[in-house]
């Protein structure tokens, strides 16, 4: 269960499908950023052994996805490059509290929500894309994205030790995430 508080509209799906080259470049950036975030957490929280192996594995998978998306971009005749990111992740992370251990908890849960939203939108792309190969590519990523969501939630529970408190905070952050996405942006991005 992804625990999102809002559903992506068909308007987003149609805008994304009409700009798949942009979406794919953004998707590659998202995978790269997800790997970087996992690695940064490993460095920042070296005193938390429970984070090391799960986040290391997650970072490797994100880099594999990055390489796969680069392959799709190349196969379509495109080229990976710079792109203006949407304000989504930054706006979501504004809800992260500054004091530990709340900072770690909120960071893990924001990562969980980003993975959940990615999963939801990739599922929509897999269901609506006319390009069967691209639809199959997105369908193939769903289980991994959902698992990454679960990994972040489970790490938060393990570190805090209070499942109800973690899920309560996840609900609060999910409400914030829904508000962040309430105003659609005029650019085609996975999280816009």
Could you tell me if residue 188 is inside a domain? no
52 belongs to a structural domain: yes
Rounded to two decimals, the pTM is 0.96
Q: Is residue 105 part of a domain?
A: yes
Instruction: Take residue 109 and report the two structure tokens written for it.
Output: 């849960």
Domain count, the chain: 1
Q: Domain of 66?
A: 10-180
CATH code, domain carrying 85: 1.20.1260.10
Answer whether the bond into residue 7 is a cis peptide, omega within 30°: no
Q: Is residue 2 a part of any domain in this protein?
A: no
Q: What is the pLDDT of residue 146?
A: 96
Within-domain flag for 191: no
66, with CB counted inside 10 A (0-12, 13-18, 19+), is buried
- Residue 65 phi, psi (nearest 5): -65, -40
Interval 125-145: pLDDT, tens: 999 999 999 999 999 999 999
The answer for residues whose C-beta is within 8 angstroms of residue 167's C-beta and 6 or more apart is 3
190 inside domain: no
> Is 187 part of any domain?
no
- How far apart are alpha carbons 116 and 2 in whole angstroms? 5
- pLDDT (tens digit, 0 to 9) for every residue of the chain, 192 residues total? 789 999 999 999 999 999 999 999 999 999 999 999 999 999 999 999 999 999 999 999 999 999 999 999 999 999 999 998 889 999 999 999 999 999 999 999 999 999 999 999 999 999 999 999 999 999 999 999 999 999 999 999 999 999 999 999 999 999 999 999 998 788 889 998
For residue 4, tell me if it sits in a domain: no
């Amino acid at each position: 269960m992804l625990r999102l508080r809002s559903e992506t509209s068909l308007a987003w799906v149609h805008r994304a499908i009409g700009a798949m080259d942009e979406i794919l470049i953004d998707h590659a950036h998202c995978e790269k950023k997800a790997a970087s975030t996992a690695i940064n957490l490993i460095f920042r929280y070296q005193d938390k052994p429970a984070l090391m192996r799960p986040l290391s594995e997650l970072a490797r998978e994100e880099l594999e996805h990055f390489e796969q998306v680069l392959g799709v971009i190349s196969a379509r005749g495109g080229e990976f490059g710079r792109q203006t990111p949407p304000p989504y992740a930054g706006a979501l992370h504004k809800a992260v509290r500054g004091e530990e251990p709340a900072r770690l908890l909120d960071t893990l849960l924001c990562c969980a929500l980003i993975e959940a939203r990615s999963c939801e939108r990739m599922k929509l792309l897999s269901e609506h894309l006319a390009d069967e190969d691209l639809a199959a590519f997105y369908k193939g990523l769903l289980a991994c994205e959902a698992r990454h969501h679960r990994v972040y939630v489970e790490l938060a529970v393990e570190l805090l030790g209070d499942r109800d408190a973690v899920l309560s905070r996840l609900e609060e952050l999910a409400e914030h995430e829904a508000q962040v996405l309430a105003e659609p942006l005029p650019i085609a991005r996975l999280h816009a």
